[in-house]
Structure 1
């Protein structure tokens, strides 16, 4: 019996090394737009780092939207581009930073790691983003969170929506997509 186990053990190890794990999703769609390399948390952090640069907060104009294109899903980009083409719709958007849900926008944004998410075959991953704004003078700093929905388009991770968190978000709806639909 002991000899049989010793013979079978190498055979079992060899067979287990030959097996492969098939991903849950073979096709995650395609993407014809440029994309940013990295995992969902890395791409989200790069997007918010770009947003923190001067002149990138608030309602995006056409030039700013073009800089955001590699970070945005096709659906969200087209929705924002449609808003940009219609000056009336854009004017009706709330006076706020639409990617943070705050009227003035953040001065810092820290995307939480997605390494705690066990499913590596996921097609979408919601990530928390801790934001804060440094106030001038004696006023205390302001801190809040949003949840950014990252989806896979082809091999790229892109921002598809932003959920405004908190008891009373300054946005008129709970998410960026809902805010755009209401206009």
Structure 2
């Protein structure tokens, strides 16, 4: 296992459409382990493959209450929201969008179809905070960042802040 670089806005890989995973092998398991280790190191409660430069439909999440007891992450391959209802407003942040948190409107309850690491098809129905986390991570697989859910004003202020920071820190270049 190894900790991978987390790509940050405005890295192009964060905006790319991801490709479905068709090979359920040891390489996929290693990628999941790397993602989990990277997520815990950050620390975060979810991580999508594009955030470490992999344009693949894969997320890992862990919203357990007591993370000191052990790390019980869940890997979801090719996840897709197949049903939703209601709405909720919840505070979000993102490892790829540093120094910004904001309230985001999401579905209250969702059903997600996905595959496990052996390729078995599964579904999970969830609501509240776990539903928010899954929606946030699945958005990454579609090139959507949580800032895309913000008002134009708030989004533009953040973009301006990042642009200034990049101009003031020329060594922090954005890679293709």
Bin of the TM-score, shorter chain as denominator length: under 0.3
TM-score norm. by structure 1 comes to 0.26
The structure in which a higher percent of residues are strand is 2
Say which one has the larger Rg: 1
TM-score (norm 2): 0.27
